[in-house]
Structure 1
Amino acid sequence: MRRNKKERQQLLKSTIKENPFITDEELAEKFSVSVQTIRLDRLELSIPELRERIKHVAEKRFDDEVRSLPIDEIIGEIIDIELDKSAISIFDVSREHVFKRNQIARGHHLFAQANSLAVAVIDDELALTAKANILFTRPVKENERVIAKAKVEKIDDETGRTKVEVTSFVNNELVFKGDFVMVRSKK
């Protein structure tokens, strides 16, 4: 059903407020208009693009939760976290993250996303990487979205060490796996 511009923009605002992670493509389909129309509507309404909305929601939601490092030092954007249990972040690979000759992401960016997520999931003021065993399973290309998932495997209060497994995916395909041993304050 086609709506007039004013009605569509009102619905657009409420839809994005309800789900800040909705894409312009999904909005265009929902309102039966072009992606360009959605972008123009967002511009008129001063609604930022998806990446900025995700960042804003994550900063607002997780800034008080993450204790081990400032939220702006995390590589990628945290979209979910339960301290000492699990965390998820997303990282969009852009031109600045890839080699010019083949558009393959530099490995240190994928490692940094995984490592900073392993630090962020620790419920302590101090969390440092003591050891990492990593495996890259396939190259990641420019414009791909990497979703990293951290899972706390074991907490040893006696030694102050925590084992965190991080797996990273592009479209449900494993691209990186890391086992991190993190040092934290002894409680």
Structure 2
Amino acid sequence: MSPTRNRRADARRSRAAILDAATQVLNVEPDAGMETIACAAGVTRPTVYAHFPSRERLLLAVVERITHEVVVAMDAADLDAGPAVDALMRMLDAGAQVTGRYPVLVQLISAHTVPPEADHDRHAPVADRIRRVIQRGRQSGEFDDRLPVDWLVAATISLGHVASEEADAGRVPAKAAQDALRLSLLRILGAT
């Protein structure tokens, strides 16, 4: 292997170790600094900054990683099989299962304001899957077609966030929040 390839492989391993550490550390200690994350990753602080010039950039990379986990879980739920209503419920379960592993981190991400375009981009992979299920449900007659699909996608994402926030704040038990989310979505979609 050439020295350049070795450096690239080392850089990929360092980046992965930093993201692993940041995900674990920030989920326990959301105010942790770059030094704490570097120690947990087994790298130096300058190495962290070489990959992520700011805490903000590191947090965005963690968000991308969690979003990727959610998307993988949703895809594993086989969203094209069975009735669209069932696929929607499997999709909600898959998303909740992943985000449930990172309760503190999800709260940190939710509290972190980003421009509307960045928020839209952050949700795009999940939104694509929601859109696909909604359109399939409309074609099969399971969901009505009175409301715009993009509005329904945005409402689904927003209601998912509300369910998480209410459960995390202790205002609604987690199971009740998930049940309310399901019922609300079925009503908004005009499920038969």
TM-score when scaled to structure 1? 0.33
Query: When you count helix as a share of all residues, which structure comes out higher?
Result: 2
In the superposition, the TM-score normalised over structure 2's length comes to 0.33
